[in-house]
Amino acid sequence: MKFLFVLFVTIWQFQLWECSFDAAVAAGNAEVTVTAIYPCEGVDPIAYSEIDFKEDENEKWLEFMLQTDTPIDSTFNSNLIVDQWQNGAWEENIYNTDGNMCEIRDKFAADAWKKLVEVTEPTTDPEGCNLQPGTYTCKKFQVESSDINIPSVLFGTFRVKMEVYNGENELFFCTMVELECDQK
């Protein structure tokens, strides 16, 4: 379930004070639209997962399923690698960041995490940083900009590779997210 949290941090992780892009603007002035979510190619992560991006005429949301045979805890780290579409091709690795997943969650997406926990079965402690082995499912998870504490974003088309590693630095989860960031 924590991997999905990283997904939302990814969407808003283009921070002016971290990446020093002149084109970055306050997150409140941007509209971020997820256009695709798919598994990373050529890797074999420990956990099995399915993520589905859904939309109808009025709403967009995520649904997911995660199966893990190992606990998820505060030793997990994430690595986010951002590419930008420019001049008809992907400009790779324009930004990357890594760190402890629980610390990132608490700093940037505590409210989004609480919403995620509310729509996930079986439920878990929204304040804790531990998940027991098992199968977790989430139906109709929606997040709003007010649920995220990210100061700024860039405009354009982006592809974000999100890797999650366990305490032994083994790849636990990997997904790709494509998104559009436009001015409101």
Indicate the pLDDT class of residue 150, thresholds 50, 70 and 90.
Answer: low
What is the pLDDT at residue 165? 96
In angstroms, the CA 129 to CA 57 distance is: 36
Four-CA torsion 31, 179, 78, 175, nearest 10 degrees: 150
Cβ–Cβ under 8 Å, residues 44 and 124: no
Q: Which pTM value belongs to this model? A: 0.78
Which of 3-7, 47-51, 58-62 ranks highest by mean pLDDT?
47-51
CATH assignment of 2-183, among 3.40.50.970, 1.10.3720.10, 2.70.220.10, 1.10.230.10: 2.70.220.10
pLDDT, tens only, 166-175:
999 999 999 9
pLDDT higher than threshold 50 for residue 5: no
Indicate the pLDDT class of residue 184, thresholds 50, 70 and 90.
Answer: confident
pLDDT higher than threshold 90 for residue 85: yes
Domain ranges of the chain: 2-183
